[in-house]
Amino acid sequence: MSKELAKTYDPKGIEDRLYKKWEDNGYFHATADRSKKPFTIVMPPPNITGQLHMGHALDNTMQDILIRYKRMQGYNALWQPGTDHAAIATEVKVIESLKKQGIDKEDLGRDGFLEKCWEWRKEYGGRIIKQLKKLGSSADWERERFTMDEGCSDAVLEVFIKLYEQGYIYKGSRIVNWCPVCQTSISDAEVEHEEQDGFFWHINYPVVGEEGRFVEIATTRPETMFGDTAVAVNPEDERYKDIIGKTLMLPFVNREIPVIADAYVDKEFGTGCVKITPAHDPNDFEVGKRHNLEEIVVINDDATMNKNAGKFAGMDRYECRKALVKELEEMGLLVKVVPHSHNVGTHDRCGTTVEPMIKQQWFVKMDELIKPAVEAVKTGKINLLPKRMEKTYFNWTDNIRDWCISRQLWWGHRIPAYYCEDCGEMVVAKKAPEKCPKCGCVHMKQDEDTLDTWFSSALWPFSTLGWPEKTEDLDYFYPNDVLVTGYDIIFFWVIRMIFSGFAQMGEEPFHTVLFHGLVRDSQGRKMSKSLGNGIDPLEVIDKYGADALRLTLITGNAPGNDMRFYWERVEASRNFANKVWNASRFIMMNIGDTELTVPAAEDLLAEDKWILSKVNTLAKEMTENMDKFEMGIAVQKVYDFIWDEFCDWYIEMTKRRTYNREKDPKSANAALYTLKEVLTQALKMLHPFMPFITEEIFCTLHPEEDTIMLADWPVYEEARNFAKEESMVERCKELVKSVRNRRSEMDVPPSRKAAVHIVSENEEVRDIFEAEKDMYAGLMGASEVRIQSDKTGIAEDAVSIVIPDAVVYIPLEDLVDMAKEKERLEKEQARLEKELARSKGMLSNERFLSKAPEAKVQEEKDKLAKYEQMMEQVKAQLASMK
């Protein structure tokens, strides 16, 4: 073995070099191969505006662990990568960039602006991919896709047209979530509801024709009253039965509105009278449809009031609210203001409070499309991990609304609908028709809107494999096997991929969805820009290496659970890497250029069989854990095995044999062979979690091998189950630990050797300790070991240690230097005599007893009792020495 590991482990010196080697050799690339079983994971596409954050790091580390594990198991493993055009986020970034240059989006026009977006994508689109490579992600970068590349764009058009023709996509006026800042509609999934302190404003609406009679309504959004077209009461509410069918005068606009009866109204909530504003509330919209009410929009796209707000027109919605409430009070129509905490919808991208508004938009009809997605999870065709995520999943599917898919943006997939400028006829097609099919006019204009970003990413599992073309890759790699994602995008992405898979491919897009939690800071807070508590994964990699970060993220990780990030844990992970490196280096230095041979069975000692049996069981248990996606449990097992069993025990056990190889070359060969074999197996099992360090060590240990990535995953062998030797060595370990603990308690320096007597009435136990004497004697600092059936010849003052089925005795004089100990005890006796004299003097002083606080006197009495007890012990020890 001519190659050597560097003296110290330096991740910076190896990680970039090894990643380039892997890429250059095409180890990540997968092609359809019918002789192998496929295993496919599709990468959640990061935004082209993205910067690697801890959530990305965790998500991609988990995927990389699974793909490396399956690759080593012999699967044809494909990890399909790509990036998302992220319509809203990218458009906002490009607009901000243009503003800094003094350029307005509108001045550029649509085509000019799109050019700038593509330039942005070219400059920043690959940034996060480079960062994922720093993490060690072994995705098939040769297959990298983009949601707006030619193939994915064709898939989007194909699906839109197909769903439109089937009647699932329609254009209509419905209430949508409108973001006044981003100036676009957004889906329900993109609205974050947060608890906000607000008010209920109680307002009197006069009853027409009944002077002095009012109906009291309560609202959290008084500025929408200009769009009221009715007031509703519950038909069973006795209080209001006499006013159903009458009309009220709407303040300010002096428009009469009817009082209607609808079961939607909760009699117990508020006043029992609800203002109905169909154009600005989703529930009111439904009530309006039932009662054929007019829909009056009163708020502009930028959240200012429009002409329907009369003299308040042009005001911001909140300015209007303030002025309106003041005037209502002056008019005597404001009854009261009641504090009220309620959920307010905000846009998850910009944090702006969304405005429910009636808009002409494109929608996907969801009631039928969602059914196969529900059934697949109910029947177990798709497995959600952890299982508790099913509750969240079904809560969403049970309450699903039609999906608003149009966005008032320029960047994205433009809706393939074309309108005749003469007769208004609409045609949905992949390309603009040459002429209007209705009137023959050649002036056709495309719909201005683009599609919701999630419309394209919903097709990701099959569009990335070549659909709608019937490709070999699609036939071979689809359905995917596992989707790894955060629990926070179950609605955005997971459910949409599932129903799209059934709708377009006729089967589920993946068999398992593995949800992970969030990475929080050390205080348990969500990492965010506003808190300034985010930690850059690249900073961690630069300081400690990618392997240390990966190990930190996966240790203790359980599906669906959040985790906290501690720098101390990263340091511990780096220390583990150092341990593995130093142990490997020590083993290689001992092997040197020795030609090792496979040892005969009789040449393997109990400790060799013990560690071979342990690593064999580890392979079995880790495989079971990995197949259940229990990556946190699996990595803890290999970590404990390497640090504890292998490094702290087995390497120490073998030193006497490797150092004395000339006296017993067979035994030395067996030890070195076993060291190399077990290290090799352990490196393989550690590889998916810490790919860089394991690659460097493995290829140095095995210069004939190209990479550990394609090495076979260790498999349990019944022939390597050495239960008897495991039991023997574990008994010896228990002996060593017990003796070490007692020596530590007595502050015996490691260099001081002592005779050890092991007394057991059990012959089988005596035989084990006799047979393994050479192995454990040095580990517990024994000058000699005697094994006997009784206490014959053992000094009375010997220290005793009880272990299972035996008692260990160590002569006190072997542990303690009697002359030094006597001198120490005599000094302690002199010190205690002074303390006793002082304490007794104080407690016999009447002045002290009468003037000192009671607590002080009691403290001195406690000291006296302690000194007297210590003196007794010192005198007893001195007496025993005489």
* Binding site, annotated residues: 529
- Which string of b and e fits 750-770 if b means at least 16 CB within 10 Å? eeebbbbbbbbeeeebbebbe
Strand pairing report for 383-385 and 510-516: parallel
DSSP string, 292-358: T------B-TTSBB-GGGGGGTTSBHHHHHHHHHHHHHHTT-EEEEEEEEEEEEEETTT-PBPEEEE
Q: 3-state class of 786 per DSSP?
A: strand
Burial-class residue 589 by CB neighbours within 10 Å (0-12, 13-18, 19+).
Answer: exposed
Q: How far is CA 182 from CA 91, 95, 177, in A?
A: 9, 11, 11
Cα angle: 379, vertex 384, 386; to 5 degrees: 130
In 242-310, which ranges are E strands? 247-250, 255-261, 273-276
List, edge to edge, every strand of the sheet that includes 444-446: 426-428, 417-420, 444-446
Element (H, E) at 647: none
Q: Are 61 and 135 in contact (CB under 8 A)?
A: yes
Residue 808 vs residues 2, 750, 759, 767: alpha-carbon distances, Å: 46, 18, 6, 15
Annotated binding residues for ATP, as ranges?
529
Enumerate the β-bridge partners of residue 261. 233
Return d(Cα 636, Cα 651) in angstroms, integer: 20
Helix (H) or strand (E) holding 159: helix 150-165
How buried is 96 (Cβ within 10 angstroms: 0-12 exposed, 13-18 middle, 19+ buried)?
exposed
Which uninterrupted H or E stretch holds 167? Answer: none
Asked whether the beta carbons of 399 and 189 are under 8 A apart, the reply is no
One DSSP character per residue, 577-601 reads HHHHHHHHHHHHHHHTT----PPPG
Tell me which H or E stretch contains 688: none
Partners of 406 in the beta sheet? Answer: 451
